[in-house]
Chains A and B, each alone.
Chain A
Amino acid sequence: MKKKVPVFLVLLLTAVLILTSCSSSTSGSDQNQPQQQAQQPPAQGSGPVDVSKSESSVVKLIEASNPANLPAAAKNRPDTLIVGTTAPSGKFNPIYADSVYDSYVTELVFDGLLMNDEKGNPTPNVAESWDISEDGKTYTFHLKKGIKFTSGQELTAKDVEFTYTAIADPNYDGPRMDSVMDLVGYDEYHNDKDGKVPKLEGIKVIDDYTISFTLKDVKASALISDFGYGIMSKDYYNFEKGNIQKLKDLFLKPMGSGAYVFKDYKAGQEIDFEANPNYWKGAPKIKNIVMKVTNADTVIQELTTGGVDVDIVAARPENIKMLQDAGFINIIHYPSNSYGYMGWNMRLDKFKDKRVRQALMYGLNRQGFIDAYYKGYGQVCNAPVSLVSWAYTDDINKYPYDPDKANQLLDEAGWVKGSDGFRYKDGEKFVIHWMTYTGSKYVDTLIPIVKDNWGKLGIEVVPELMEFSTLSTKVYDEQNFELYNMAWSLSIDPDPSGIFAISQDVKGGFNSVGWRNDESEKLIEQGLRETDQQKRKEIYQQWIKLANDDLPYLFLSYSDDAYGISSRVKGLKITPYEDWTYYIYQAELVNP
């Protein structure tokens, strides 16, 4: 299941950016080539490309024009697939992996109880089926029989129990706590440092193939959010309560029931895998997988020289063009499950007024920014929901660029233009100190546009760049800011409580903007307790409309994710909710 990776888009961006300064390319030779995908006709005799077979409505394919152009480097490794990855950190454990890169490793090596389909619905995996009790609090999973760890032992309910109990361990210091903390008996087990409470009450092994989890309260997002983590073998990983160090000692020797067996990790270079011939879904067709470390500066060159077969690239026309020119690379791109925004501190008087917030939204040429920066591979965002979410709705105010309307709203709000061209209210000049992060082309493009657009409204914008950790400390830990910008990479479930609940409006919480809207709070709570997806959808769409009107954020942008995939790789399925690891066991390597 697509994990809730706490590495968020911005972080990912800055991590790469700070390492290599500015990674994602800004440029484009001529801007008369937006949306050039699909213009390229498929080459004659190139055979069916399986990437397209699984194409969902949102995934777009640009087919390779000349698959035969495959470089010798790639031809020379008929049994080995090389996938580029950015920064694995060596925490190869399903309950410790805290970046997408480490998660790819655990997804190859481990299987979770459930998976998800491309719409984001939970689907069976190790658990063949599941029941939910009348009160909606108890989940009972029926495991498939005969699944074996690569050690030869069978995966049973006690392994599931072990995995989830490990997360509740008093000394657990990984990022998955939230998936067990709502279980009955969590606090008793977690807070007991002396080993007096041997078991977590909420987890019950019924027989070898049946296990149940009992929550303290209904949690509508539980299935999709909490039951996807890889199951660890109790025999292999077992440790005494409190001695979780054992798991860390085994970071570099992960062992699970997954499609691939972990062979070797060369820190900062590569991770090697070998097919698990006894994989319960069928032996993988590709014998070896290597995850090779690449970076955004040179990923295009790695792909075009055949150094890697599959890698994620920044979805920009320049990159796509360079990949197309190579001839043998299929390109897919789709809207990512994320959005970019600017957060304003609503504790400040100037941002308390909804009219001011709306004026700033109308008064910013967001389409112009997106056209300049993404050149066709991004869209304007108007609400705190991603384009691919099942809760998404288009029926909201689009806030088109309209300086006149913005001026009018500002006038109404009492900010009047002075003789110097700036707006004043009660003698206070309208100045916005905008804190943002360094080393990002996104920000470098945004700054002049914001300064110019809002300057024309009579607002002085003072941008201030800082290193990302400093920025997030000021925004979240200290709440000491006027305006900032970041992006959220979202989990599958649309529940926004982690970001917008009033309980998150504390120092260190994520409601950094201080949005305290009772209506919103009510809807969020309803959404979390409603298990019928259709009804939930209605609740969330109502909430989206509310957020779109009340504007806790200035919503900015949706961007695309793009993958370059060598034409020697067939049958690889990647969608916004499904990583390349999900169906890798079905993919194969051919000589085009």
Chain B
Amino acid sequence: MEAKSIEDVRELATEDIMSPWKLAWRRLKKNKLAMLGLYILAIMVLLSVVGPLVSPYTMEQMDLSNIQSPPSLAHPMGTDEVGRDVMTRLFYAGRISLSVGLFAVVISVVIGSVLGGIAGYYGGFIDSLIMRIVDIFMSFPFLPLLITIAAVMSDWKVPPQYRMFVVMILIGILSWPGLARIVRGQILSLREQEFMQAAEALGIRDRRKIFRHLLPNTYASIIVSATLDLGSAILTESSLSFLGLGVTPPTPSWGQMVQVARDLYTLQMQPWLWIPPGICIFLTVMAINLFGDGLRDALDPRLKR
């Protein structure tokens, strides 16, 4: 009892001199679920980086005499339609899908929350301007535009391996307007609350008000949006490849690997082809969600554990 209170006091004391980020990190480390998310993510990244290096097969190595075979010792996740090792391809696919997913989400979150924050805080003309841009982005049919971009890239002979970066940026750019509106909507309400009047009275600079006081209160929505976007970005990548924009086969991605379950026969009879990539997408989305929730709690000054 005695010892614990001393511990508490000491903790309080250290908290006072720690920077908010350090503090958040300490809180985060205590959150088991958040750490679980972080570990899962780390393992996924590790596997996709190291996996292909240690695998006895290569991504393109095929074996026409051994196609669509169920999992075995030689192929722990079976083989695909031209006899390639599914597990090796899964690792490779992770490189693509993780980087596309994470980068696209970062792009969309940064643009969306900054523009949403600015629009919501300043209101008036700036809000109108940003929101009309959002309107245009949201009402613009991107299908024809994406087809054009794909055609232009092929005219310029952009090597297929670089098109992945275009895909990341495109997905990011396509998904920010929704988040911008969500953030702005919340900030419209938040800026009228008492704490902002206090901030006003203290004469805090606008930038500080937006990024230190308003945006943190929208983290919850931003994190949900990031989680949703991550899942859809990984799946969207494969839809973009239908427009000729995605990663070019034979380079795999999780989204494309899951697509083989397009017919009921595969769905029923060859689960090794689609369950592993499906689980990978699920785990990634879950990891980001758990970590995101934990991060939000850690950054919330009202929650002191």
Q: List residues of chain A with CB under 8 Å of any chain B CB.
A: 18, 20-31, 297-298, 300-301, 318-319, 322, 365, 368, 371-373, 433, 435, 438-439, 441, 443-445, 447-449, 451-452, 462-467, 469-470, 474
Contacts and interface: CB of A to CB of B under 8 A. Distances in A.
Given A445-B81, A451-B250, A463-B160, A470 B151 contact: yes
A438 B241 contact: yes
Contacts of A322: 264-265
Given A368-B64, A463-B250, A467-B150, 7 more contacts: A318-B266, A438-B242, A445-B81, A448-B62, A449-B64, A465-B241, A467-B147
B41 to A, nearest CB: 28
Contacts of A435: 154
A460 to B, nearest CB: 12
Contact of B82 (A18, A24, A28, A372): A372
Contact of B81 (A298, A444, A465, A470): A444
B82 A449 contact: yes
Contacts of B67: 31, 372
B207 interface: no
A441 B242 contact: no
Contact of B249 (A26, A30, A300, A444): A444
B192 interface: no
A455 to B, nearest CB: 9
B4 interface: no
A23 B263 CA distance: 7
B154 A466 contact: yes
B99 interface: no
Given A439-B242, A448-B60, A463-B249, A21 B82 contact: no
B84 interface: yes
Interface in B240-297: 241-244, 248-250, 259-260, 262-266, 269-270, 273
Contacts of A452: 60, 62
A433 B242 CA distance: 19
A499 to B, nearest CB: 25
A447 B150 contact: no
Interface in B141-195: 147, 150-151, 154, 157, 159-160
B68 interface: yes
Nearest to B62: A448
Contacts of A463: 160, 248-250
Interface residues of B, number: 33
22 contacts: A22-B262, A22-B263, A23-B263, A26-B260, A26-B263, A27-B81, A27-B273, A28-B265, A30-B68, A297-B262, A297-B263, A300-B264, A322-B264, A373-B81, A445-B82, A448-B60, A448-B250, A449-B82, A463-B249, A464-B244, A464-B248, A465-B249
B270 A29 contact: yes
**In this complex, which of A26, A368, A469 has the most chain B Cβ atoms within 10 angstroms of its Cβ?**
A26
Contacts of B259: 21-22
Interface in B66-97: 67-68, 81-84
A438 B243 contact: yes
Contact of B264 (A20, A22, A301, A368): A301
A80 B270 CA distance: 37
List of 3 A-B pairs having minimum Cβ-Cβ separation, nearest first: A466-B244, A25-B263, A318-B265
A462 B160 contact: yes
Contacts of A445: 81-82
